[in-house]
Amino acid sequence: MMRRFAIIDIETTGSYSATHGITEIAIILHDGEKETDRFETLINPCTPIIPFVQRLTGITNEMVADAPKFEEVAKKIWELTDGAVFVAHSVNFDYSFIRNAFKSLGAEYRREKLCTVRLSRKFFPGHSSYSLGNICSALGIKAMNRHRAMGDAEATKLLFEKCLEQDIESAVTKPKGKKGNISVLPPLLPKETFENLPEKAGVYYFYDLHGKIIYIGKAVNIKSRIYSHFTGKGNYKLTFTSQIADIKYKLCGSELIALLLESDEIKKHFPIYNQAQKFDRGSYVLADYVDGKGIKHLTLARNHKKLQPHTSFKSYTAATEFMKELMIKYDLCAKYCNVQSSPGACYNYHLKKCKGVCCDKEDITVYNERVQQALNSVYSTSETKIILDEGREFNERSVVLIENGIYKGFGYFSSEIEITSPEEAKEYIEPYKHTGDVQRILNMWQHQQQ
């Protein structure tokens, strides 16, 4: 007997199922080959809908004032979904709202879940975004009436059917065995801990029986990646799973932030089973300092917390070539650019490319002004980038700031706010260190965007 599916989308007053209500629900029943029935209704959430959500969905407080309350349509929803697989795009969001709504009525709502984000990643890999709008657009699916329940349910249905077309082995539609996930879970790990893991991007932490972090990882889908550690699917199996007694996580919103946070957390906690990124390989940066004589030095160095870097480089070769160009363009002293350590005048002075600050032939103030001009040129040519992406919640966005080629950190802000400048971004970011691993991550990310 093939499985039945209930493709569901809801609209809500906010992003937290524990504190917000459902304003609209759409259910499309599907037998794995075609649609068999559908149902939709507005719902009175018995709580105000904030202006941002009203603008996003078009559902106003006036529209739901006379709509049925959840308890009036609960029986219909229960019967339609009974025995069916609960299908949704980012399924945990919709499922958590409906489950909480039934819980408030004293009913325990449990259905098998299926996420079309995960399905589309599996059958259509390589896309930069798997949001409903973006993946539908990429696959040629016309999504109509977005951010209304039936419009998004229709789009999810079409996406689901596209996935079924690629499912040659019928793995989606075949009934699942009753064994489930429990047989592959580590013996010390409570089943509830695994079941409550989110299917969202973030960083996860494995703890041993003594409460010590033994491994840190990142994932686009935390629950799926952790499950693969236990099963070995995708060559992700770990050899120490028998030691895992607890799992915690931090949601990140985007894969880039998950990568950046994972790198920082590994260096901070130094987990025994993480092999890569424990030691900061450093990145070469351009910095400056003033010596006892008041002369401003430029230096290329591995990034260090005591330095205030002006820009960073992919390699030492790129850094030295950049320094040579500055020395030639601004008549800078090789000695005070830290590329010559011998006493006396620098070789550039003998070549008439230095005006003699290294042998007291030039006024220090005049020389320092040229150094500052060189630094100002660095600021004008080094890349400053504001990267905006999805947030951890429904009405949130994330921001990563790179200023003059230096990673400054990341943060989150309300999607109602518009960020257009580094100064605005700094109001929301938490500062993080620029490291060699961070440089590698950013280089990889920028390459993927090209």
CB environment 308-342: b (16+ within 10 A), e (fewer): ebbbbbeeeeebeebbeebbeebbbbbbbbbbbee
Whether 70 and 22 have beta carbons less than 8 Å apart is answered as: yes
**Angstrom distances, CA of residue 416 to CA of 309, 396, 412:** 33, 8, 12
Give the DSSP per-residue string, 365-414: HHHHHHHHHHHHHHHHHS--EEEEEE-SSTTEEEEEEEETTEEEEEEEEE
Nearest to 411 by CA among 394, 389, 395: 389
Pairing mode, strands 84-88 and 4-12: parallel
| Catalytic residue (one of 147, 297, 304, 447) | 147
Q: Where are the beta strands (DSSP E) in 233-370?
A: 246-251, 284-290, 296-302, 311-313
Whether 356 and 349 have beta carbons less than 8 Å apart is answered as: yes
Whether 324 and 340 have beta carbons less than 8 Å apart is answered as: no
Enumerate residues 6+ apart whose C-beta is below 8 A from 46: 21, 69
Measured distance CA(437)–CA(279) in Å, rounded? 9
DSSP 44: B
Residue identified by tokens 């990034």 is 303
Pairing mode, strands 213-219 and 84-88: unpaired
Q: What is the C-alpha R_g of the chain? A: 28
Residue identified by tokens 């929803």 is 77
The dihedral of CA 147, 38, 5, 169: what is its sign? negative
Length of the chain measured in residues: 450
Give the DSSP per-residue string, 233-266: GGG---TTGGG--EEEEEE-SSHHHHHHHHHHHH
Is 310 tagged catalytic? no
The two tokens of residue 104 are: 């408030």
Q: Please give the torsion angle defined by the CA atoms of residues 301, 307, 310 and 311, in that order, rounded to the nearest 10 degrees.
A: 40
Annotated catalytic residues are 147
